[in-house]
Structure 1
């Protein structure tokens, strides 16, 4: 056996041994490439686009096992039926069973959106749509467009868009639509295979799933005018490369050079287009108009609370009942009224101790309420209020009897921290209505040459929240101040005094602030400019109103990122007004400037805002995903 034979034999033996070892050792199986192929439709029974359909069900077969994802939300049958079609999964096929009678000579579409996915990786089939007709012909017209939330200027996902051949205004409140469609994540919708006709188009947030619009309760949007379907021929020209080439040769000093000669071919394609497919639907919440008393309560001994359904003038008046009170209490002056900013919450502070010391009170409340005809009428209601003091913890009462009882003080909230903005006031809020004579005991000191010196200020009373006051002062920059209220200086109408209050703070420097100057252009109505921060949860920091073109200054701003939006205040009432479907009133337009203004200390930024332009607001959720992807990419590198 020579050397070369022996070396070859050893090499083969090693290879065989490695193979046997690999087969004998069963490790964990290695996964292959991720399946990204969506399921494919292999058969439809009957086939899509069939006519003269008479059956009760449709079966759709796939090349693999599938799942139904959010089918109840995504599946849409158009025209809709009172009893919705049932979609069931049968392994490698999906069955649609009709539970109501189909209309004669009608084209139906079954839109599954992306609800059909494969069983392993959840790859969606895509926007699958099945079409059939109960008559001899298929309708071919279509409509499409986009639904946008008017206040946020973001696409509305899952809105139900309804199309009515009966164009009366009240039809969406009582009848099923002629056709329906759903919006995707971009707010886009498309309804196909509909009749050539004129339609009223409406979009709602159909939480009940009954295709009916409930005014002031359902989010709604509508196209201003009736929509007529159209079709028109169009031509598309495509450039294609030839299948064959020609090679041309020619002699040069360097030899023979070859050149490939080819000529592109222009192909004309004729189509029929259907539409319009650019319908724009601004969606909004109608102003709630049903007025009624939601709740009444006595959360504190001295206070009665009334909560109404909507902010409105309700003309609330409360009169005490009970023989033990009628002769002893002035019915016209037994409480102080306090209201919320929206006037939907009312608190009555009982002034007379003869009343609030009674555990059980009976009162007659009269207020406006919406009746069955939609009119506001005065209603009188008898209400019982009950309050009982909370029992003391076990042993606490006895312990207090053997010791000096703790003094109970009136609580004061002072809205100031360690630093104070130069353009802000101090908010003082008391937990009970106070006797205003005690406000003279509030003192403000300014540090002058290391000595706290008393300075003047103004107190402003809140017009609605009677327990709130604003301390206003023209602050000096980079200056130390102290707010002081001596104990027993202020007392409530119930005889409770305040504990001592001292708040020391320092004002900021002028250099700590920046300004944003907005140049409003092409404004034809009054404009409300709002400076805000945040994406999903918008926090409006300040707002300014301008009657037309001009400059708007937001000053005393700290370092940070700011954004601006504009309300087109067409009626000039200084606030954003929503729309109303039955009154054919669209909401006021809101424009979001798609520019983040990054402001630094001691800097001014000037920004143009053209009201004649259409601005597209970026979806905050997609924006965050993009930033996350960028961060991951940087990490991977």
Structure 2
């Protein structure tokens, strides 16, 4: 009712000190605008380089004036940049001031060197945004790093993954990038994706073409926190979950088995043991840290009621001929009653499940059971159900499953399946882990290629997919994150990108074959001239 909406951003009328000023050490900064203003998360959105103590800085907006009280002595012969990004907005409509920067020097010259490039995220979460990522530089003689303190120079990444740090003083620096989820201006060991360049960067001219690949990996070395009897079994508590466990004792796999829950290894014995047993335990975490220790475990009589046996099936899976049944138990199994374990495909017809069809994923754990059987095309049914009565399974503590098992699997018809997806991986060296992901990002198929750059998937359910490549540099059949202490980069990950649409998705229908797809590798961490 009061006229057209105000869409004009605030305009600067005056700056004190003036932009590009020399030989100035202001105690406060005053910027006057042509209209009333407000601040939007100034502590996060106003980037100040090089590093100052932001805890001492007081930023206020009063009417049309912004006042920044520095409350600290600035360094000599240093160029300071205040990048306001979108933190200054008009009071009425929230229009941000555009491209607002203040640059001044405490010396006789303005530093003008730049450091620019791009940032990629290997496994972005749903809430991860590239514009929340930070790129920072630390002088080579700085005793801090990205996990300890904010960098000397920094900038935020834009929505397209680009960054540009300006007004840098010539020198040698260490470079980092990280997903700054908590706005602390430093990376978190456990929870934030990060990357680094292990080589010293000499900035005596503008540096371009730098690339970072962010990924998460808890950088704290794995440790044994404590161990003690818990009822009749023995528990080992860790600070993080291992990816590799080696237990050395002649009884392991015979009378003693173990399970792994969140940060806890549980040892189970089929019967109480009077004397303590020595176990040499070797653990490795996802980053590559290892621990080797000796523990003495007790397996005593206990009146404590054992935990109930539970089953988690991978129900809901689709299959063509080979049924992909996997049953996960919370404890090692001791025995199975096969009379009450079968595959049902109508109200009256069943296929008995026999011992030959079963195998444990790990014979030392006996907590993940795979059932392997094929279903003939001649059976004209869509849904097949693995059934088990209560008391079918008995665990090592003598507990039976109290709930019945009923896990459904959908059989696909041959005519609805796509024939194949084939392609070539360019500009990369194997071994490769090649993964076919559905539209939700869930893994549908995976293949491992020790040599060569060609890949293929056959008999695929119609749908929309993505193809992800993991460059398995060390050949251990899994992706390895970065190890900061050892200055080892994360193994490279990249996707098939449709050359016409520019996106990752590919669609395939029944009877189709997609041939000769070319997957081009993404840049490695570093600069083109110093790539490893």
TM-score bracket for this pair, using the shorter chain length: 0.7 to 0.9
Contact persistence 1:516–1:607 (CA under 8 A):
no
Secondary structure at the aligned position of 1:189 is classed as: strand
Partner residue, 1:80: 51
Shift in Å, 1:414? 5.6
Of 504, 511, 520, which residue of structure 2 is paired with 1:602? Answer: 511
Distance 1:282 1:613, change over 3 A: closer
Bigger relative contact order (CA 8 A; separation at least 6): 2
- Equivalent runs, 1:172-571 vs 2, <5 Å: 177-205=151-179, 219-229=193-203, 275-286=206-217, 288-293=219-224, 305-308=235-238, 309-311=240-242, 336-340=256-260, 344-349=263-268, 351-352=270-271, 376=291, 378=293, 421-429=320-328, 433-436=332-335, 438-439=337-338, 442-443=341-342, 458-463=357-362, 465-477=365-377, 479=379, 491-495=394-398, 507-522=411-426, 523-534=428-439, 538-549=441-452, 551-571=454-474
Shift in Å, 1:510? 1.6
Of 153, 156, 160, which residue of structure 1 is paired with 2:130? Answer: 156
Contact persistence 2:244–2:283 (CA under 8 A):
no
Partner residue, 2:527: none
Deviations 1:560-591 (A, max 9, x none): 11111111223333222222344332222211
Paired with 1:346 and 1:75, the residues of 2 have a C-alpha distance of 47
Unaligned runs of 5+ in 2: 499-504, 525-532
Shift in Å, 1:420? 5.6
Partner residue, 2:61: 89
Of 65, 75, 80, which residue of structure 2 is paired with 1:108? Answer: 80
Distance 1:482 1:604, change over 3 A: same
Distance 1:495 1:35, change over 3 A: same
Partner residue, 2:28: 57
Paired with 1:297 and 1:50, the residues of 2 have a C-alpha distance of 67
Partner residue, 1:629: none
Distance 1:295 1:217, change over 3 A: farther
Distance 1:290 1:222, change over 3 A: closer
Contact persistence 1:335–1:348 (CA under 8 A):
no
Shift in Å, 1:43? 0.8
Aligned length: 500
Of 35, 42, 45, which residue of structure 1 is paired with 2:16? Answer: 45
Contact persistence 1:176–1:211 (CA under 8 A):
yes
Shift in Å, 1:41? 0.4
Shift in Å, 1:53? 1.3
Paired with 2:111 and 2:468, the residues of 1 have a C-alpha distance of 44
Paired with 1:108 and 1:503, the residues of 2 have a C-alpha distance of 64
Shift in Å, 1:421? 4.1
Partner residue, 2:108: 136
TM-score of the superposed pair, with normalisation by structure 1 = 0.65
Shift in Å, 1:189? 2.4
Paired with 1:81 and 1:200, the residues of 2 have a C-alpha distance of 18
Paired with 2:523 and 2:294, the residues of 1 have a C-alpha distance of 48
Unaligned runs of 5+ in 1: 1-29, 232-274, 319-330, 356-361, 391-408, 616-637
Deviations 1:42-101 (A, max 9, x none): 111221111221331010000111111121111121111235432211221111111221
RMSD, aligned α-carbons: 4.6
Distance 1:380 1:534, change over 3 A: same
Deviations 1:518-539 (A, max 9, x none): 211445332221111246xx32
Paired with 2:177 and 2:406, the residues of 1 have a C-alpha distance of 57
Distance 1:487 1:179, change over 3 A: closer
Deviations 1:360-397 (A, max 9, x none): xx999996799xxx98464769999998669xxxxxxx
Partner residue, 2:528: none
Question: Where is the helix percentage greater, Structure 1 or Structure 2?
Answer: 1
TM-score of the superposed pair, with normalisation by structure 2 = 0.77
Distance 1:488 1:168, change over 3 A: closer
Distance 1:521 1:419, change over 3 A: closer
Using the TM superposition, name which of 490-499 and 597-606 deviates more.
490-499
Secondary structure at the aligned position of 1:72 is classed as: helix
Using the TM superposition, name which of 374-383 and 308-317 deviates more.
374-383
Shift in Å, 1:123? 0.8
Paired with 1:83 and 1:163, the residues of 2 have a C-alpha distance of 17
Of 454, 479, 483, which residue of structure 2 is paired with 1:580? Answer: 483
